[in-house]
A and B are shown apart, each in its own frame.
Chain A
Amino acid sequence: MSVNTSSVKEKSRIRIETCRDDFPVFRREVHGKPLAFLDNAASSQMPYPVMRSYTDYHSRYHSNVHRGVHLLSQEATDAMEASRETLRALINARSKKEIIFTSGTTDAINLVMQSYGRTYIGKGDEIIISTMEHHSNIVPWRMLCDEKKAVLKIIPVSDDGVLDLDAYASLFSERTRFVSIVHVSNTLGTINPVKKMTEIAHRYGVPVLVDGAQAVSHMEVNVQEIGCDFFATSGHKMYGPTGIGILYGREELLLKMPPWRGGGDMILSVSFDEVLFNDLPYKFEAGTPNISGAIGMGKAAEYITAIGYDTIYRKEQELLAYATDRLSGIDGVRIIGTAPEKSSVVSFVLDGIHPHDIGTILDLEGVAVRTGHHCTQPLMERLGLVATTRASMAMYSRKEEIDQLIDALHKAIDIFR
């Protein structure tokens, strides 16, 4: 197979110091200024190899998967399955059967809610989530609770953005049926102790879903070591395409779960009286999947691996320290989220200037940040805030971008003073 096989030779061949050159977006200007892209937590940029895997598929072997006897279809199937294997290896799942392609993290969480949740959670049962969840890990459970008359229990968070583990442990009862927690907070950067939290849940026999949307681009994830039952992530937050993601599920659980979408690919045989469902993971992949997205996400995983998580983590932690330090040096800045374990995300508020105005002024200076509630309204309410400004760094980020942010903030202060 010539298409998309990851060769060992490629390993560690990409150097983090020069990887920025692989991202063509950094050649453009924004409002006449060089682009300082500090909104990586919303979506990260895409390198050439990922783009090439995309155009390769579309220019050489675009066809449907798992159905054709012809060469193109076989190549497409092989490429997609090779990507599944790359992603399996990336998060160290036991088997490819445990990797289900979805349209993203949101879709993956909804799959678990629809399939596992609607089957195994009923009236009076309890689901534990935390205060710092993204809306995509709140709304599906809220919907399930409304439908089933189940109850949501919320893990509290401290002022500096750390989950209260004692409170968490005390939330369990004989009615607890599910735990769904975010690995890395998109708003605060807090890295939650998901391994320990899973251990606690498993003492009560309760399965755990980890929302890993913000984890996979920053640090090594080992689902077997964490021990979690489900893990969800998105391609576009790890240098891959939008509209693609994966759900990891422990095989034992996936086998017990009914499919929640019916259609082609997810069946072995169909008559009008009876349907025989396909094996894992296809049981959960109804319809023609996002083939180029799946291939691209695999390529993105290869790219990350070729740089190496140790290298990425070290550089991002340096950037985090630098950004935290420089922002703290500005009069009137308060950093929101000061947990000891953080990914490269810095949220802050600035006295007397609304984050929306900061966002606009920074944009006009070429600096892209996110402002607002970051899809974590309950967290913002807990912290007594309406909005923050968030700078989020990635492996290709540079100190110069942070300097550009700081300069632009001084301009905002000058204007508003």
Chain B
Amino acid sequence: MWHMHIVNDKTSQLYQQVMLDHNKTPRNYRVLDPADHEALGHNPLCGDKYKIFVNIDEHDVVTDVTFIGDGCAISKASASMMTSIIKGKHVDEIDKLFHQFHDMAQGKLDPDTDPNDLGRLKIFAGVRNLPARVKCATLPWHTLHAALQGKEKISTE
């Protein structure tokens, strides 16, 4: 039988093609060895678990960043897009993005009207209407943040 379902607007807004693509074929999905920094992020509530590896040069610019782990499409796509976007960026710039991403996911920053540098990351704005999924989108970012600050393990609930 051939199924063609009309997909709910909210669903297609959340699960945009870009996100689904990053979920299916995540970028930078490998162990980085050796790595200057690494951290494990875990959401015990849904079992999402990611390890993020970062290398930084003497000017505090990320030269390479990778991840491994498993979880839902939102968390995996978020990790994949995050790693692609921050490569080559200075840690201060990354810190700014982290906060903007965080605020967007929590609905405190509207990526369409408030000034921001989120670019392609805007596709994650949909989670702000789904409180149960905010942590999925932000877990990779929290983990990256922890890695850059020298913490080895974080856990969100």
Contacts and interface: CB of A to CB of B under 8 A. Distances in A.
A409 to B, nearest CB: 10
Which of A354, A371, A410, A413 has the most chain B CB atoms closer than 10 A to its own CB?
A354
Given A356-B133, A356-B136, A372-B45, A414 B5 contact: yes
A171 interface: no
Interface in A395-417: 407, 410-411, 413-416
A357 B47 contact: no
Interface string B4-16: 1101101110110
Contact of A415 (B7, B130, B132): B7
A31 interface: yes
Contacts of B45: 372
**Binding site secondary structure of chain A:** helix
A411 B70 contact: no
A263 B116 CA distance: 57
B72 A414 contact: no
Contact of A354 (B5, B7, B10, B73): B73
A143 interface: no
A356 B45 CA distance: 10
Contacts of A353: 73
B47 A364 contact: no
A31 B10 CA distance: 9
Nearest to A356: B72
Interface string A357-379: 10111001100000111000000
Contacts of B71: 354, 356
A364 B46 CA distance: 19
A411 B70 CA distance: 23
Contacts of A356: 46, 48, 71-72, 74, 133, 136
Interface string B52-83: 00000000000000000011111000000000
Given A356-B72, A407-B5, A410-B5, A387 B47 contact: yes
B20 interface: yes
Given A357-B72, A360-B130, A415 B12 contact: yes
Nearest to A411: B5
A364 B8 contact: yes
Contact of B73 (A387, A410, A414, A416): A416
Contact of B3 (A31, A357, A373, A414): A414
Interface in B1-56: 3-5, 7-8, 10-12, 14-15, 20, 45-48
A31 B4 contact: no
A386 interface: yes
A359 B11 CA distance: 11
A285 B76 CA distance: 49
Contacts of B136: 356
Interface string B130-157: 1011001000000000000000000000
Contacts of A360: 11, 14, 130, 132-133
A386 B98 CA distance: 27
A411 B47 contact: no
A357 B74 contact: yes
B89 to A, nearest CB: 29
Nearest to A386: B47
A414 B7 CA distance: 9
Nearest to A413: B3
A360 B135 CA distance: 13
A372 B46 contact: yes
Contacts of B48: 356
Nearest to B13: A364
A407 B8 CA distance: 12
B155 to A, nearest CB: 14
B47 A415 contact: no
Nearest to A362: B11
A364 B11 contact: yes
Contacts of A373: 47
Given A361-B15, A410-B5, A411-B11, 17 more contacts: A31-B10, A353-B73, A354-B72, A355-B72, A356-B48, A356-B71, A357-B15, A357-B72, A360-B14, A360-B130, A360-B133, A386-B46, A410-B3, A414-B3, A414-B7, A415-B7, A416-B15
30 contacts: A31-B10, A355-B72, A356-B71, A356-B133, A357-B15, A357-B72, A357-B73, A357-B74, A359-B132, A360-B11, A360-B14, A360-B133, A361-B11, A361-B15, A364-B8, A364-B11, A365-B8, A371-B46, A372-B46, A373-B47, A386-B47, A387-B47, A407-B5, A410-B5, A411-B7, A411-B8, A411-B11, A413-B3, A414-B7, A415-B15
